[in-house]
Structure 1
Amino acid sequence: MKEELGQKINDIRNSKGMTLKDLSEKTGLSVGFLSQVERGLTSIAILSLKSIADALDTDLSVFFAPPKKNRSLVLRSYEQESFQYENYSYILSNLSGDMKDRNIEVMLVTILPGDDKGAPAKSPHTGEEFIYVLEGILTLYYNDEEYILYPGDSAHYKATEPHTWRNETNRLVKILSVNTPIIFNS
């Protein structure tokens, strides 16, 4: 555990181009102590670890995340990576593994209540999309039409038309989204 934690600190510090001295100056912890932590030779108090996380401009939880494994076949629930785009009230959880050359992307999308922006309006693109409502009431806009979907409802459509979805209620909406990956041409 100490070795894994130390390696994570070292990896993040190096990715930010910081030296041990830089980290020491930002945290008030000695270079020698930080070196021992990174090499897994000593334990560290949670407050000191929080100080390191702040200095590295990262979340403390990063140090407690399970190590990534090859996820090409099975993705365990605790390995799912979630992210939220700034200024949008939905959370995306990637359910796809790391399989190379895959033809579909699978996401669990949680849309927060009272969403007035929804998913960014998607420009038409190649491929198709499928959504399945797991929880809540979803409003789908597709090609200037509005559709209300309830739990158990689904929609499968060509992505070549303008489309987006929203949660216009006061409860969470969760959907399973399956689509062909958008390929960006340079």
Structure 2
Amino acid sequence: MSFNFGKKISNYRQKNNLTIQEMAERTKLSTAIISQIERGIGNPTYIVLESIANEMDISVSTLVSEEISNNELVLRKSERTVMHEEAGKILMYELLTERPFHNYMDMIFVELYPHGDTSGTYTVHHEEESVYIMHGCVTMEFEDEEIELHEGDTIRVLPNRKHILHNYSDEMAYIIDVKCKNSY
């Protein structure tokens, strides 16, 4: 990870064919300040960063956020966090995303054993959730209805809706569960 917003500014200028002088005029800052920031020297104030971020049409937090290399976003199968539960008649969760940076999403691989369920009781959370059935047949139970889901089906579960997932069949069910956190 590198923390170099000066490079972001320089890349923006080059991409938009702007000179330091033109960037300074657009941001109402001096060429010296722009040059210093791009070279990673000096300590710009929030107002200076806000002026630059406005020109770039991004937030200040985006401007100063850490750069994440694509390689750092890879999670190898051998590195995944695996959790087992028995409350729901045997269940295995495997996190497909870790949260080392600014991740607002959890993607989870779920193995739901025959005649098992996800928790033994209703679950409720503040995130929106999408459930994709990779293999098998499961039933999503809400407080007032049950919906049967087959291989290839997807269901969205809106925040604060009590639900539980059952596998009433005699075979394993494989599921991808994605929970999205609010990013604001």
Question: Paired residue for 1:87?
Answer: 87
- For residues 59-80 of structure 1, give each alpha carbon's deviation from its aligned partner in whole angstroms, at most 9, with x where no partner exists: xxxxxxxxxxxx8500112222
Alignment of 1:22-61 (within 5 A): none
> Partners of 1:120 and 1:181 in 2: how far apart?
24
Alignment partner of 1:105 is 2:106: yes
SS at match of 1:84: strand
Q: Is residue 127–residue 179 contact of structure 2 (8 Å, CA) maintained in 1?
A: yes
1:181, distance to aligned residue in structure 2 (A) = 4.9
Distance 1:76 1:181, change over 3 A: same
Give the structure 2 partner of residue 170 of structure 1.
Answer: 170
Q: Distance in 1 between matches of 2:72 and 2:145?
A: 37
Amino acid at match of 2:99: D
Task: Name the CA distance, whole Å, in 1 between partners of 2:99 and 2:162.
Answer: 29
Question: Which residue does 1:150 correspond to in 2?
Answer: 150
Aligned counterparts of 1:152 and 1:123: Cα–Cα separation in 2: 23
Q: Deviations over 1:71-98 (max 9, x none)?
A: 8500112222211124331100010033
The residue number in structure 2 matching 1:19 is none
Instruction: Look up the equivalent residue of 2:98 and give its one-letter code.
Output: G
Counterpart amino acid of 1:101?
H
Q: How many residues align?
A: 111
Distance in 1 (alpha carbons) for counterparts of 2:142 and 2:85 = 22
Query: How far is the alpha carbon of 1:110 from its aligned partner?
Result: 0.2
Are the equivalent residues in 2 in contact too, given 1:137–1:169 (CA < 8 A)? yes
TM-score, normalisation: structure 2: 0.54
Counterpart-to-counterpart distance in 2, 1:177 and 1:148? 16
1:131 match: 131
Structure 2 gap segments, 5+ residues each: 1-70
TM-score normalised per structure 1 = 0.54
Identity of aligned residues (%): 23
1:171 Cα deviation after fit = 0.1
Alpha-carbon distance in structure 2 between the residues aligned to 1:167 and 1:139: 6
Q: Which has the larger radius of gyration?
A: 2
Q: 4+ runs of 1 displaced by more than 6 Å? A: none
Q: 1:181 to 1:90 in 2, by over 3 A?
A: farther
Distance 1:123 1:78, change over 3 A: closer
Q: In 1, Cα distance between the equivalents of 2:107 and 2:149?
A: 19
Shift of 1:123: 4.1
